[in-house]
Amino acid sequence: MPKSKKPVTASTKTAKPAAHRRADQYNDPSHNYRQYWKGREYENAAEEIAIRRLLAGRHFRHAVDVGGGFGRLCVLLGDYADKVTLAEPSQQQLDLAVDFLKDYPKIERKLMQADDLQFKDGSIDLLTMIRVMHHLPDPAVEFSEIARVLSQDGFAIIEVANYAHARNRLKHLAKGKRLPTKPVDIRSSQNRRAEEIPFVNHNPRTVIRQLAHAGLEVSGVLSVSNLRSPGLKKIMNRQLMLRIEGILQRPLAPLYFGPSIFFLVRKPR
């Protein structure tokens, strides 16, 4: 689909290159994102549990996975939608998706930025954006795009890398400090250069306000990957971990307990 024409201004000329740098790490041949998920089977399954819980009993015409990498979650989305599109800004990830999705030829693959979704207004009734927010210090444009393409009765699932998780709250409490409301840069000092891809954790309460500003409201919350711990993985059976995870996701959600928060989002009715 051709890009819609937009007026070119000084701000757009400078803003666009910064947006496209977000995919640089995932285009680096030395960084194989598919290999990254080896050893993270618990986290992957925990996210699948959350998505299935949020989508239970629903079916959609067109689901779009924004920033979905090599298509890790697209097969799952096919259980809930007639059509699935992987919208990914990294060509390398789309190339990896060719093999990963080889048995699912109906899943479309589109090179696309989250801040420039090339879909018509109100044309998408399910959108997921998982493990993308940690690259977005200011997601205002992305949230605006989600609100634009989402149908009036559609849903979006947005995952947030959670700075307000239980361990951080205890650390701040011990120091007598309040949790920050702004995103926290968690990159190492050597990677904190302007040209490096951002990597931040968010305060979920701030994200809810940002969503509201974009015209989106949160209708469901889950706390995800609540048992994420290298130590636990070594001593606990994965299936047991996942059974406990499934039990904890909903009751721990109001506490923003886990390192990952899933928001089910829609337009106000």
Could you tell me if residue 3 is inside a domain? no
Amino acid at 163: Y
Taking the mean position of all CA atoms in its chain, how far away is CA 60?
19
pLDDT in tens, 137-196: 999 999 999 999 999 999 999 999 999 999 999 999 999 999 999 999 998 777 776 567
For residue 20, what pLDDT band results from cuts at 50, 70 and 90? very low
Residue 228 near residue 42, CB atoms below 8 Å: yes
pLDDT in tens, 218-256: 999 999 999 999 999 999 999 999 999 999 999 999 999
Could you tell me if residue 63 is inside a domain? yes
Q: Which domain holds residue 191?
A: 10-266
What does the pLDDT read at residue 194?
A: 58
The number of beta carbons lying within 10 Å of the beta carbon of residue 4 is 9
Q: How many CA atoms lie within 13 A of 80 on its CB side?
A: 24
Could you tell me if residue 57 is inside a domain? yes
Could you tell me if residue 1 is inside a domain? no
The pTM of the full predicted model, rounded to 2 decimals, is 0.90
Write down the residue that tokens 């993308």 correspond to: 132
Three-class SS of the chain: CCCCCCCCCHHHHHHHHHHHHHHHHHHCCCCCHHHHCCCCHHHHHHHHHHHHHHHCCCCEEEEEEECCCCCCCHHHHCCCEEEEEEEECCHHHHHHHHHHCCCCCCCEEEECECCECCCCCCCEEEEEECCCHHHCCCCHHHHHHHHHHEEEEEEEEEEEEECCCHHHHHHHHHHCCCCCCCCEECCCHHHCCCCCCCCEEECHHHHHHHHHHCCCEEEEEEEECCCCCHHHHHHCCHHHHHHHHHHHCCCCHHHCCCCEEEEEEECCC
CATH code, domain with 161: 3.40.50.150
Could you tell me if residue 2 is inside a domain? no
For residue 258, what pLDDT band results from cuts at 50, 70 and 90? very high
Could you tell me if residue 250 is inside a domain? yes
Amino acid at 87: A
The token duo for 150 is: 């989402």
Could you tell me if residue 220 is inside a domain? yes
For residue 88, what pLDDT band results from cuts at 50, 70 and 90? very high
Kindly state the percentage of the chain with pLDDT values over 70.
Answer: 90
Quote the mean pLDDT of the chain.
Answer: 90
pLDDT at 43 over 60: yes
Total domains in the fold of the chain: 1
The token duo for 62 is: 């067109």
For residue 62, what pLDDT band results from cuts at 50, 70 and 90? very high
